[in-house]
Structure 1
Amino acid sequence: MRILQVSAELFPLLKTGGLADVAGALPLALLAAGQDVRVLLPGFPAIVAGVADSEPVAEFAAPWGERVRLRFGRIPIGGAPAIPAYVIDAPWLYDRPGNPYEDPSRQPYGDNHRRFALLGWAAAQLARDLDPDWRPEIVHAHDWHAGLAPAYLAFAQPDGRPRVGSVFTVHNLAYQGLFAPWHFSELGLPPAAFSVNGLEFHGQLSFMKGGLCFADRITTVSPTYAHEIQTPEQGFGLDGLLRSRSHVLSGILNAVDDQVWNPATDTLIPHRYDSRRMPGKARCKAALQDELGLAPQADAPLFVVVSRLTEQKGLHLVLEGLDALVAQGGQLALLGSGDADLEAAFRQRATDAPRSVSVTLGYSEPLAHRLFGAGDVTLVPSLFEPCGLTQMYGLKYGSLPLVHRVGGLADTVVDATLEDMASGDATGLSFDAFDAAGYARAVRRAFALYRRSTDWRAVRANAMRRPADWGTAAARYLDVYAEALS
């Protein structure tokens, strides 16, 4: 099957969150399954630099008239086949400071509607023979950045060739790609597309809604989240639409790329280990404590956070519970950035207790690996979490996830209750009430389990053995692609 994956990010070239990990791993899994897969990406500098041997394929006009070049090359992946990749060559749109979506002062770029409409538009042009040597059978668009691809396909004039199916994956419904309605005239869609049954959302223009309305099939990144987004509590105003399309909506749990996240082979951690040979983890912990200036205490449980610092991620619970965590003899190592108030508050706590709390603002892929390699507990107390990859990395590295039981966190972490420890199913700790008391109790349970070393080692071994392979997920996506074509 000829499959075009459309995404704004792709690991290892460009990453701001879990979307990039999925966009990088799924094509590899589909290639391993014998599929003919290519990716389409915006020409951000990091992406342009990472695509090898790129050559011009075609030129085409954006809906608002600018001429744009499409290039084709390959993304080399160490130890895996290179990923065939199209790149939209439009430096006036993509070669800018800041991150892919915001300027250095964290303000969204004023022409983001054009920058990401072009991504969907290019996907639709490829479906209409923009590249004379390759035409997809399926266009798989990821999140709001690519949300207009299904809309463009739905409104394309029939040309006598087999129809191209579309699949739209919601990675996080909270980010919807909302723009002022007057930008609709620039998108090249007919007036009928801007309606209550189209891109119109409370008077605004919603790229997310474009994907949800017009894709042949909709997926999201965990089964529990697929149910949650059909409720008013987590539907962000789109729950009615999602309920009306529930017959084409499914949840496919994300997986972990074993070539990247594997403590037995990871070159980014100082000592390798696996579930049967664990001394390397203790050495990783000692090395990280030394690196971060934490007290060199082997018996102090090390809690780690690798996250955007936002209310959604429940980091205010971590902040409120930090005194109790330190008082019980624990340490915290945090890596992340986001809300300025949270950044300042965590930085101050690290200044006040530098031997117990370490805070690194920003993102570093090597440090993230070292944190999971060293950590005893990975904190993911999110208010909502479509899937979450952080807890999966914690599972792989024996850093037991402590999670709020929602979305993909509920699907991947089995609480260390007595019965689940006895059955060998327990893989971490979870709590139900999203408040300080519920979180604090889960932290106390983590300390209690840590002090019962035999039980701790058993749960940790269960966690590290939990299957999370992309081959299984890729097979589920192939079923969805077949449904989209039927």
Structure 2
Amino acid sequence: MKILFTVSECVPFIKSGGLADVAGALPKELKKLGIDVRVILPKFQLIPDEYKKQMKKIAEFIVPVGWRQQYCGIEELELDGVVYYFVDNEYYFKRSQMYGDFDEGEKFSYFNLAVLDSIKQIGFYPDIIHCHDWHTGMIPFLLKEKYRDHNGYEKIRTVFTIHNLQFQGVFSKEILGDFFGLEDRYFNVEQLEFNGNVSFMKAALISADKITTVSPTYMEEIQTAYFGEKLDGVLRSRGTDLVGILNGIDHILYDPKTDPALTAQFGPKDHEARLLNKLSIQRQFGLQQDIEIPLIGMVTRLTNQKGLELVREVFDEIMATGAQFIVLGTGDREFEYFFNQMSTKYHEQCRVYIGFDEELAHRIYAGADLFLMPSKFEPCGLSQIIALRYGAIPIVRETGGLNDTVKSYSGKIGEGNGFTFTNFNAHDMLFTIERALSYFHNKQEWNSLVESVLQMDFSWTRSAHIYHLLYKDLVSRSDRNVHECTGV
């Protein structure tokens, strides 16, 4: 079976969020199942030179973007048994940022077209193109409407994964003709029209053969008006083709037993070694070094989605518990400003790092006692899973993938792996933090909880098998359809 992943970012080459982690980890797990899975992504300028030097050009051709004749080079690199293709075009990708350019619609229109044109150029005809998020959303639609009759494309099927429905790739209707050469007849509510514009996300939802989300709860949520971002009707209409598959994490990349970023590596029973990481992160941030003081960590994008308005509303009360608080992240200026203010106001308890540092994030996961993630919505969330992997007990709101991965701890029966609250309410969150802190001060019970979460398995193994079954079903269905049409 041959699968082509198409994605805008991928670990270890380039990353802005969890999408890159998935694109980096899942193909390696699928490879173990005997699948020939390859990945194609833009050759962004921000990719480190150490990887660019390993790339080998294997194809050059022209991609028509409407009336524009744009160069495309395909460069290849093999890493950990997976073949990666990089779409090279300096006009679109030699920039100081990945996203947010003035010509975002044109840039990713080019990428979608380049992916489809590259198939015949490199001679890799996949059984399935697995597309990820809006940046690749036009591929399933174009495959059906413009490429289906091309030699070798007839049997290709598509899977589209929604990583975050909030970001949809919405642009003016003019892109249909100007970039894709599509007639106005496609601009209607049953096809590409979305509130007077064109949505890449909607294009994928109406045309992909299968649609997956990154957690079972999120799959249910996005079919409601509250979470559906005005696409809930489309998603309900595709309900039989919609599957929720929980993301995993790379257990090799995130392994406290071998992680070089840590002060001391540790396993489930190495309580003292883990505490060395706590003392180290307290020292690094200039906090009092004391294992008896509870340490709450956050590694997050500083946006409303992450529930930071709740944190802001009751931050004084959180500080009144005596806990220490460390934040690592970047995002909206209002939240960057707020946490900087709190770091000044509560200098003995609160510290903030505005920006992102991967190694520092690992050290926070390994050193924090509690990990706070009170998201307004969360398609899957990887931070709470990584926190569990490193023994930081999560405090989360019961939404999306948080609901699927964190179960409320009950001291009476010893079940659960974290602390949860249901309503998007600051005082509900505060009560849950206080409840978690009450357990923290019972060292025997707390150590038992930490030991149990350090033994949990959140690798990609199970989810990769589910994807494998999904792919097999699509391929066998494709073969049946061909046989029916040809009379074979």
Q: Same fold (TM over 0.5)?
A: yes
Moved more, 182-191 or 37-46: 182-191
Alignment of 1:480 with 2:470, yes or no, is: yes
Deviations 1:73-96 (A, max 9, x none): 2153xxxx1431111111111111
Query: Structure 1: how far apart are the matches of 2:148 and 2:418?
Result: 52
Residues 213-237 of structure 1: per-residue CA shift (max 9 Å, x gap):
1100000000000000000010000
Show the counterpart of 2:208. Answer: 215
Distance 1:199 1:272 in 2: 51
In structure 2, how many angstroms separate the alpha carbons of the residues matched to 1:66 and 1:111?
16
Deviation of 1:30 (Å)? 1.2
Match of 2:47, SS? helix
State how 1:62-73 maps to structure 2 within 5 Å. 62-64=64-66, 65-73=68-76
Q: Is the 8 A contact 2:63 2:110 kept in 1?
A: no
Residue of structure 2 in register with 1:112 after alignment: 104
Q: CA shift at 1:179, angstroms?
A: 1.1
AA matched with 2:73: L
Q: Is the 8 A contact 2:92 2:107 kept in 1?
A: yes
Aligned to 1:105: none
**For 1:360-419, what per-residue CA distance to the aligned partner results, in whole angstroms no more than 9, with x for missing partners?**
001110110010010111111000000000000111011001000000000000101245
Amino acid at match of 2:128: I
Moved more, 143-152 or 49-58: 49-58
Matched with 1:243 is: 236
CA deviations on 1:245-302 (whole Å, 9 max, x unpaired) are: 0100001100010111111111111110011222111000101111111111211111
CA contact (8 A) 1:219 1:252 kept: yes
Residue 172 of structure 2 corresponds to 180
1:101 is matched with 99
**Alignment match, 1:106:** none
Listed one character per residue, the Cα deviations across residues 4-35 of structure 1 (whole Å, up to 9, x for unaligned) are 10111111221111001001001111112221
Whole-angstrom CA distance in 2 between matches of 1:232 and 1:247 = 18
The 1-side partners of 2:115 and 2:355 are apart by 32
Q: What is the rounded CA distance, in whole Å, between the counterparts of 1:231 and 1:39 in structure 2?
A: 32
2:484 corresponds in structure 1 to: none
1:92 equivalent in structure 2: 91
Q: Secondary structure at the match of 1:309?
A: coil
1:464 to 454, 460, 477: 454
Letter in 2 for 1:89: D
1:353 and 1:480 map into 2 onto residues whose CA distance is 51
Query: Deviation of residue 136 (structure 1)?
Result: 1.2
Question: Are the equivalent residues in 1 in contact too, given 2:75–2:87 (CA < 8 A)?
Answer: no
Structure 1 Cα separation of the partners of residues 177 and 187 of structure 2 = 10
Distance 1:181 1:48 in 2: 36
Shift of 1:426: 0.9
- Give 1:48 shift: 7.0
Distance across 2 between alignment mates of 1:390 and 1:246:
28
1:356 corresponds to 2:349: yes
Which structure 2 residues correspond to residues 278-289 of structure 1 after superposition, within 5 A?
A: 278-289=271-282
Q: Counterpart in 2 of 1:158?
A: 149
Question: 1:354 and 1:388 mapped to 2: Cα distance?
Answer: 30
Q: CA RMSD in A?
A: 1.5
| 1:266 maps to which of 259, 274, 291 | 259
Conservation of the 8 A alpha-carbon contact between 2:223 and 2:232: yes
Report how many aligned residue pairs link the two structures.
470
For 2:135, the equivalent position in structure 1 comes to 145
Question: 2: distance between equivalents of 1:193 and 1:475?
Answer: 37
Structure 1 residue runs of 4+, over 4 Å off?
none
**1:453 counterpart = 2:443:** yes
Aligned to 1:187, the other structure's residue is in SS state helix
189 and 239 in structure 1: CA distance in 2 versus 1, 3 angstrom threshold = farther
> Which of residues 275, 283, 288 in structure 1 aligns to 2:268?
275
In structure 2, what is the equivalent of residue 60 of structure 1? Answer: 62
Read off the aligned partner of 1:255 and give its amino acid letter.
G
2:430 to 426, 433, 440: 440
Residue segments in structure 2 that go unaligned for 5+ positions in a row = 478-488
Match of residue 416, structure 1, among 375, 385, 409: 409
Distance 2:474 2:207 in 1: 12
Q: Which amino acid aligns with 1:340?
A: R
CA–CA distance in 1 between the matches of 2:293 and 2:69? 59
**8 Å contact from structure 1 (residues 72, 84) kept in 2:** no
| CA distance in 2 between partners of 1:181 and 1:262 (Å) | 47
Identity %: 35
The equivalent residue for 2:315 is 322
Q: Which shows bigger deviation, 243-252 or 345-354?
A: 345-354
* Partners of 1:152 and 1:189 within 8 A in 2: no
Measure how far apart 1:189 and its partner are: 4.9
Q: Which sections of structure 1, spanning at least 5 residues, go unmatched?
A: 103-108
The question of whether the paired residues in 2 share the 8 Å contact of 1:167 and 1:484 is answered with no
User: One-letter code of the match for 2:264?
Assistant: H
Equivalent-residue separation in structure 2 for 1:166 and 1:123 (angstroms): 13
Q: Does 1:426 align with 2:411?
A: no
* C-alpha distance in 2 between matches for 1:199 and 1:280: 55
Contact 1:426 1:462 in 2 (8 A): no
